[in-house]
Amino acid sequence: MNEVIVATKNAGKAKEFVQMFEPHGIVVKTLIDYPELPDVEETGETFAENALLKAESAARLTGRPAIADDSGLVIDALGGRPGVYSARYAGLDKDDKANNRKVLDEMTGLPDEKRSARFTCVLAVAFPDRQEPVIVEGSCEGRIAHEEQGTNGFGYDPLFIPDGFEVTMAQLNAGEKNAISHRAAALQKLRAVLPELAGEPK
Ligand SMILES: O=P(O)(O)OP(=O)(O)OP(=O)(O)OC[C@H]1O[C@@H](n2cnc3c(O)ncnc32)[C@H](O)[C@@H]1O
Ligand SMILES: [Mg+2]
């Protein structure tokens, strides 16, 4: 069985990795399957630093290659915020509702042309031996809606209108999101190392 470890505890991300790997016959294990592994403090100042911290910790503790995802929403009018702090923007870690409300409050009154934003995803692959880690990045351009719309996806999806669409990411179905998302774009760049990653579990 081909299997990869994705070092995330975010159920929304986990679901998308399963959807993207499944057609290739690759089974995804996440940290939700390894509840005994300790939390990694995301002390980095960039997506890449945090992705690497998470991937290296998982590879070390499982003894297997691991992928980690550090991602977020970068809003031009807010000087790039919430950025690396996307998960904890409103203070309480992982409160999607509060995060979305804070973004909308901060952007009150801004017209569409001043609401440009992008989702960014950095994927890091770390290996348990001395092999150098691999880091790739994908992004998805769009703009911030004036109110939350849609219930699919997770996080900031109800606020994000991808370029070329008039609906939010949360109004797209899984297949539509995975065709254009920052996560899919980054994963596409990892194709070269996938055979190494999805080896037989030892
Ligand atoms: O660190 P892990 O365990 O992977 O889970 P996390 O939720 O803490 O993940 P991050 O540290 O990478 O924080 C990213 C945040 O950015 C947001 N985000 C990332 N990708 C997103 C997407 O596809 N759609 C909507 N919001 C997204 C969402 O709020 C996430 O909590
Ligand atoms: Mg996190």
Question: How far, in Å, from the CA of 111 to the mean position of ligand 1?
Answer: 26
Residues lining ligand 1, CB < 6 A?
8-10, 13, 42, 69-73, 86-87, 94, 119, 153-157, 181, 183
Give the position, in ligand 1's atom list, of the atom nearest the Cα of 10: 5
Q: Count of domains in the chain?
A: 1
Residue 202 in any domain: the answer is no
The values of phi and psi at residue 135, to 5°, are -130, 130
Could you identify the residue written with the tokens 């919430």? Answer: 82
Angstrom distance (rounded) from CA 61 to CA 124: 16
Residue 156 in any domain: the answer is yes
The rounded Cα 120 to chain-centroid distance in angstroms is: 8
Active site residues: 70
What is the mean pLDDT, run by run of 10 residues, along the chain of 202 residues? 90 97 93 91 96 96 95 98 96 89 98 98 94 96 98 98 98 98 96 77 55
DSSP 82: B
Residue 137 in any domain: the answer is yes
Instruction: Name the region of 112 (left: φ>0; alpha: ψ -120 to 50; beta: rest).
Output: alpha
Q: pLDDT per residue over 51-86, tens digit each?
A: 999 999 999 999 999 999 999 999 999 999 999 999
Residue 162 in any domain: the answer is yes
pTM of the model: 0.96
- Per-residue pLDDT at 195: 77
Q: Which domain holds residue 158?
A: 2-197
- Per-residue pLDDT at 1: 59
Q: What CATH number should be reported for the domain holding residue 115?
A: 3.90.950.10
Q: Which ligand has its closest atom nearest to the C-alpha of 37?
A: 1
- Per-residue pLDDT at 194: 80
Best of 47, 50, 69, 71 to mutate for ligand 1, by most ligand atoms within 8 A of CB?
Answer: 71
Q: What number of helices (H) and strands (E) belong to the chain? A: 6, 6
- Per-residue pLDDT at 77: 98
The rounded Cα 134 to chain-centroid distance in angstroms is: 16
